Amino acid sequence: YYDASAIAELAKTIGADAVHPGYGFLAEDISFGARLKSNDIQLIAGDARKEIPEIVDKTITRRWASNLGIALIPSSDPCRTWEEVSAAARSLSYPLLLKPVSGSGGTGIQLVRRRADLQDAFMLASRGQSEFPPESKGVFLESFIAHGRLLEFPVLRDSRGNVVVLPELDCSVQRRFQKLVIETPAPFIEKEFLQYLTTLSRRIVESQDFVGLATVEFLVANETDYFLEINAYI
């Protein structure tokens, strides 16, 4: 199931022209997609795009949004070692979130309320990344904002650049950063504001050479809309 070499070799042997990675980390394995491509085999996944690493890495997608002038929650650069995490935390105030650079669904996110808990949180987050390829590992720190609304906008983009933004998903009801309830349309939010976020989602996707399905996520709090991340889907 996780043996990328065996799967790629089997696909080549039987003459397959495409591979569906199923449900698992191979869907975001950069080297797996490149290995298939070198044999003219298409990876059927949310990262069926020309620049696979760009959406897998949350810190890169944050850079996209920043370049477009979209607000971001204060955060750090990617960190791979405890020393880097410790240094990055000094520029942020507690409480803060420690987030994996890759992955989705709230997996691995740690809430850190004081510096004394930071190292344990880093160890927990790192342990949860054991199945990721080396180039997709790492964490970053982000200021924690309580009582925000989490809004996602599914976006489809084809190889000709056509973009469709689907209605919003309100994913604010969560437990331990895992979604419990998804509501659409989002309650108690003005249509004009939702249209504004729809436009931002379109701008972010149109600014990159992306093909496939993804959700563009925002946190709405303190009368500000913050870009969070993009998650690609199979």
List residues with catalytic annotation: 179
Which residues touch 88 (CB under 8 Å, ≥6 apart)?
Answer: 76, 77, 79, 140, 141
For 91, half-sphere exposure in the C-beta direction (CA atoms, 13 angstrom radius) is 11
- Residue 192 in contact with residue 210, Cβ under 8 Å? no
Pairing relationship of beta strands 18-19 and 42-43 according to DSSP bridges: parallel
- Residue 56 in contact with residue 136, Cβ under 8 Å? yes
Helices (H), the chain: 4-14, 30-38, 52-56, 58-67, 82-89, 118-127, 191-206
- Residue 174 in contact with residue 182, Cβ under 8 Å? no
- Return d(Cα 57, Cα 137) in angstroms, integer: 9
Question: Phi, psi at residue 60, to the nearest 5°?
Answer: -75, -45
- Return d(Cα 58, Cα 101) in angstroms, integer: 5
- Return d(Cα 189, Cα 214) in angstroms, integer: 22
